[in-house]
């Protein structure tokens, strides 16, 4: 929908359909690409960083990897407000639970708490989340929780609007004997491809490797921009973009 200004007022251009709701009143959405995979000794989570309101990009570098506990993180997709609330509420519950236990919480416990929120308020929340982490009972674990509250434990899972573009790639490249570095590289390459094709995904790729030793967080900028068949990013092109 295109507009032109006449005496300070925005007038729709003939032949176009006006948007009934301006972008600044729309729900912030993490229409997104998220991915998590297990390997021997831990898990790797990854996400892009684009948050949008309709066609307007509200934040290019939002963090969709949210800490629930020292050993557990969650990937968020859906409504930014809904997923932030769920993550903060579960992190609060988990912190008290860890104090009562006197040890790190189990990944399954955090995943069940996330599932309960999504299922209980499924008519109000728009949230699809991936809970992943490591604990001394079951090692590295990945739990996929969809919009309706169904929770499934998987070796790897992908979610968000960009997931449809990379299911085939993931099926082809996934292995059971990944090392930590190989799993992280797999997550990066898959998300780069999703961001390249999906208009709701973009920005940078954040990854987190969770093992017995702790959490290692990294971020990378893709070599190509989000428009298909666009030119490779070079030092000269980055200078031209400012």
| Catalytic sites, residue numbers | 32
- Give the pLDDT band of residue 242 (cuts 50, 70, 90): very low
Distance (Å, rounded) from C-alpha 31 to C-alpha 150? 20
Of residues 60 and 130, more confidence is placed in: 130
The candidate with the shortest Cα–Cα distance to 131, out of 227, 232, 45, 203, is 45
pLDDT digits (tens, 9 = 90+) for 155-166: 999 999 999 999
Say if residue 86's pLDDT is above 60: yes
Q: What is the mean pLDDT of residues 127-144?
A: 96
> Residue 8 — left, alpha, or beta (φ > 0 → left; ψ -120 to 50 → alpha)?
left
Burial 1-13 (b: 16+ CB within 10 A, else e): eeeeeeeeeeeee
What sign has the CA pseudo-torsion 37, 39, 41, 47?
A: negative
What is the per-residue pLDDT for 233?
52
The pLDDT mean for the chain works out to 85
What the block records as the tokens of 122 is 């499924």
């Amino acid at each position: 929908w295109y507009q032109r200004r006449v005496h300070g007022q925005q007038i729709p251009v003939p032949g176009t359909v006006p948007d009934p709701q301006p972008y600044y009143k729309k729900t912030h959405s993490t229409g997104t690409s998220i991915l998590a995979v297990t390997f021997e000794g831990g898990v790797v989570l990854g996400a892009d960083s684009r948050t949008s309101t309709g066609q307007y990009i509200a934040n290019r570098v939002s963090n969709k990897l949210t800490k629930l506990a020292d050993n557990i993180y969650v990937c968020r997709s859906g409504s930014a407000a809904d997923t932030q609330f769920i993550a903060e509420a579960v992190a609060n519950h988990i912190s008290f639970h860890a104090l009562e236990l006197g040890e790190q919480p189990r990944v399954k416990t955090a995943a069940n708490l996330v599932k309960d929120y999504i299922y209980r308020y499924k008519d109000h929340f728009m949230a699809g989340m991936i809970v992943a982490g490591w604990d001394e009972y079951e090692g590295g674990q990945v739990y996929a929780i969809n919009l309706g509250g169904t929770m499934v434990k998987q070796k790897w899972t992908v979610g968000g609007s960009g997931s449809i573009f990379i299911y085939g790639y993931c099926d082809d490249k996934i292995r059971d004997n990944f090392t930590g570095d190989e799993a992280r590289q797999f997550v990066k390459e898959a998300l780069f491809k999703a961001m390249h094709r999906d208009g709701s995904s973009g920005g940078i790729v954040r990854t987190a490797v969770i093992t017995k030793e702790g959490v290692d967080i990294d971020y990378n900028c893709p070599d190509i921009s989000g428009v298909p068949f666009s030119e490779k990013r070079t030092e000269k092109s980055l200078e031209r973009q400012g």
